């Protein structure tokens, strides 16, 4: 059996109580705190020790220089370069829509101007080492550039040979990354947050990672800005009806489990027959996968098949789980969209797999996980910009509105606030 069975029929009012929720565990919190403190004290040498300890490679030079990055473009296959450039263009086009216009409103002698400014320096974390994610380089760096960030920094774990692979470096060049460092894990987050002799601190850190990286971002929040998306291990919830093709639902459940440990793959359906069909299809996919052991381990800890009474209860489960990826793999999926309250991204129908959003649909694939979609959103240009306002009043405004300010200030016992108005009348 590939998926843990959950029957929640008739439990609509107890879903928060009965549905399982992953917890990071105190060992993660303590280990991350130790790494952050080590890097904060030890700087570059601490980064080298951590890289040797966790990635198995001793580095002399942390930075990947411009010549090495540019050379990577020439070494990658032409079709990969075309795919990266197409994805970059579509991501940039979508995120350009996300930059909010500046505006102004004036009434009763007061003019309020709304405007925004980009952060000066943004740090992008991209997983690496045994795998490579050039698409995540594009997803993190492109909206930073669209937002107008002055300097974009990339940290990625090195491979066993101490290098960063060509596809990742090529994506960095295409996306306009200024600095690349072969440093990963919680130590990379510490370096970008606190700074070291080689890596100057940034204003904002974005990007996905394992639970240690996600916990590190949580712990440094406040020292630097952290994107609203708590982007930890990958998640998917597939809503399936009797008409859902079992092989499509099964492969999409396997897609997210393929990312590695601690992820979640949920199947939610009101058809017991379809549940069995999809579960059997998933078992066949796992058995044939070159990453069988990893898939089995992820599904054993985070694979669930949930039986509900109907579509409405399926969406109620989805809203409690608040998955990173929500696939409504039913006919006329759009009719269920008004029921969605909490999800990182929604995919409608059988022809809209999460993998499309992972690469080049345009919206960001850095999405909230671990139920943080209840209060946060996908990575966007807003994560790289600060929204400000400027207030300008004239004497008439003080005469007209000042008495109300005085009343409110004195009500709150703030005499100097009130007097600052009175001396201007």
pLDDT of 321-349, one tens digit each?
Answer: 999 999 999 999 999 999 999 999 999 99
Backbone angles phi, psi at 352, to 5 degrees: -125, 70
According to DSSP, the residues that pair with 237 across neighbouring strands are 266, 326
pLDDT band at 372 (very low <50, low <70, confident <90, very high): confident
Backbone angles phi, psi at 78, to 5 degrees: -60, -40
- The larger pLDDT score, comparing residue 17 to residue 224, is at 224
For residue 24, the model assigns a pLDDT of 59
Instruction: Give dist(CA 33, CA 29) in Å, integer.
Output: 6
Length of the chain: 425
- The larger pLDDT score, comparing residue 151 to residue 7, is at 151
Tell me which fold the domain 239-374 belongs to.
Rossmann fold (3.40.50)
Owner of token pair 């800890």:
301
pLDDT band at 394 (very low <50, low <70, confident <90, very high): very high
DSSP alpha helices (H): ranges in 195-339? 211-220, 246-257, 272-288, 292-302, 311-321
What three-state secondary structure class fits 318? helix
What three-state secondary structure class fits 365? coil
For residue 353, which of 338, 373, 333, 378 has the smallest C-alpha distance? 333
Residue range 205-217: mean pLDDT, rounded: 90
Query: In this structure, what token pair is assigned to residue 39?
Result: 């890097």
- Which residues, at least 6 apart from 64, have a Cβ–Cβ distance to it below 8 Å? 164, 169, 180, 181, 182
- Same CATH fold, 239-374 and 26-228? yes
Query: In this structure, what token pair is assigned to residue 317?
Result: 């489960």
For residue 279, the model assigns a pLDDT of 95
User: What residue segments make up the domains of the chain, in order of their start?
Assistant: 26-228, 239-374, 394-422
What three-state secondary structure class fits 24? coil
For residue 253, the model assigns a pLDDT of 93
Q: Is 243 a catalytic residue?
A: no
From 88, 95, 259, 325, active-site residue: 325
Q: Is 325 a catalytic residue?
A: yes
pLDDT of 276-289, one tens digit each?
Answer: 999 999 999 999 88
Asked if pLDDT for residue 73 goes beyond 80, the answer is yes
For residue 26, the model assigns a pLDDT of 73
Residue range 301-319: mean pLDDT, rounded: 94
Would you call 370 exposed, middle or buried from its count of C-beta atoms within 10 A (0-12, 13-18, 19+)?
A: buried
For residue 128, the model assigns a pLDDT of 85
For residue 130, the model assigns a pLDDT of 65
pLDDT of 91-102, one tens digit each?
Answer: 999 999 877 777
From 324, 365, 412, 417, active-site residue: 324
- The larger pLDDT score, comparing residue 255 to residue 153, is at 153
pLDDT band at 75 (very low <50, low <70, confident <90, very high): very high
pLDDT of 113-170, one tens digit each?
Answer: 988 999 999 999 999 866 789 999 999 999 999 999 999 999 999 999 999 999 999 9
Tell me which fold the domain 26-228 belongs to.
Rossmann fold (3.40.50)
Cross-sheet strand order for the sheet of 345-348: 4-7, 303-307, 264-269, 235-240, 325-329, 345-348
Mean pLDDT, the chain, whole residue set = 92
CB 189 within 8 A of CB 217: yes
Query: In this structure, what token pair is assigned to residue 21?
Result: 């929720």
pLDDT band at 231 (very low <50, low <70, confident <90, very high): low
- The larger pLDDT score, comparing residue 45 to residue 23, is at 45
| DSSP annotation string for 278-313 | HHHHHHHHHHH-TTHHHHHHHHHHHEEEEE-SSHHH
């Amino acid at each position: 059996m590939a998926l843990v069975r959950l029957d929640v029929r008739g439990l609509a009012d107890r879903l928060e109580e009965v549905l399982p929720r992953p917890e990071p565990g105190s060992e993660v919190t303590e280990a991350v705190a130790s790494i952050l403190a080590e890097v904060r004290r030890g700087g570059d040498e601490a980064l080298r020790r951590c890289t040797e300890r966790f990635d198995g490679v001793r580095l002399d030079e942390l930075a990947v220089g411009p010549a090495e990055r540019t050379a990577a473009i020439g070494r990658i296959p032409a079709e990969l370069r075309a795919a990266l450039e197409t994805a970059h263009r579509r991501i940039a086009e979508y995120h350009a829509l996300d930059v909010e216009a500046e505006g102004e409103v004036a009434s009763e002698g007061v003019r309020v101007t709304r405007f925004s400014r980009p952060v000066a320096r943004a740090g992008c974390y991209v997983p690496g080492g045994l795998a490579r994610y050039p698409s995540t380089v594009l997803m993190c760096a492109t909206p930073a550039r669209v937002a107008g960030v002055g300097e974009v920094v990339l940290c990625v774990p090195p491979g066993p040979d101490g290098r960063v692979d060509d596809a990742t470096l090529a994506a960095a060049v295409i996306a306009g990354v200024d600095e690349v460092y072969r440093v990963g894990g919680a130590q990379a987050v510490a370096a970008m947050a606190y700074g070291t002799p080689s890596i100057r601190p940034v204003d904002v850190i974005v990007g996905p990672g394992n639970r240690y990286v996600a916990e590190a971002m949580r712990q440094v929040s406040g020292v630097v800005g952290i994107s609203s998306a708590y982007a930890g291990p990958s998640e998917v919830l597939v809503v399936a009806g009797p008409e859902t093709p079992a092989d499509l639902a099964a492969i999409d459940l396997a897609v997210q489990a393929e990312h590695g440990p601690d992820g979640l793959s949920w199947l939610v359906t009101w058809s017991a027959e379809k549940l069995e069909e999809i579960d059997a299809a998933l078992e066949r996919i796992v058995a044939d996968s070159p990453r069988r052991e990893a898939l089995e381990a992820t599904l054993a800890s985070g694979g669930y098949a949930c039986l509900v009474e109907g579509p409405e209860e399926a969406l109620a489960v989805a809203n409690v789980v608040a998955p990173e990826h929500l696939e409504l793999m039913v006919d006329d999926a759009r009719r269920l969209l008004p029921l969605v309250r909490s999800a990182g991204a929604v995919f409608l129908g059988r022809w809209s797999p999460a993998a499309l959003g992972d690469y080049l649909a345009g919206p960001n694939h850095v999405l909230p996980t671990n139920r943080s979609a209840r209060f946060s959103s996908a990575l966007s240009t807003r994560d790289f910009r600060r929204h400000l306002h400027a207030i300008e009043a004239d004497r008439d405004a003080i005469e007209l509105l000042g008495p109300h300010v005085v009343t409110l200030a004195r009500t709150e016992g703030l005499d100097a606030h009130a007097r600052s108005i009175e001396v201007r009348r």
